[in-house]
Amino acid sequence: HQDEVQKGSKVTLLQVGQITTSNISVDSTPAAGDVAYIAGTGNFTATPTDDADTADENNMYQVGRFLSSKDANGFCKIAVNIA
């Protein structure tokens, strides 16, 4: 599915693939190759959530890898793999 989706709309659940998004935590500065996590806000971040204090818990929040850093408009490419 390569459709642009407005916030609040229904979406297909992506398990494996690539996305380009601006839903990156404001305090996160990801670089290409960094692990992508889901923050408590539902945004992507390059750091695990505060309650992920062991390696096993860190893997629980990992959803893929950043393929780029933020561009001038705040967008990043992310390779998602939660299959």
Supply the mean pLDDT for the chain: 83
Per-residue pLDDT tens digits for 36-50: 998 878 889 998 766
**Token pair 């992507």: residue:** 44
Residue 79 CB neighbour total at 10 angstroms: 14
Tell me if the pTM is above 0.85.
no
Residue 68: pLDDT above 80? yes
List b or e across 52-71, with b for residues whose CB sees 16 or more CB atoms inside 10 angstroms.
beeeeeeeebebbbbbeeee
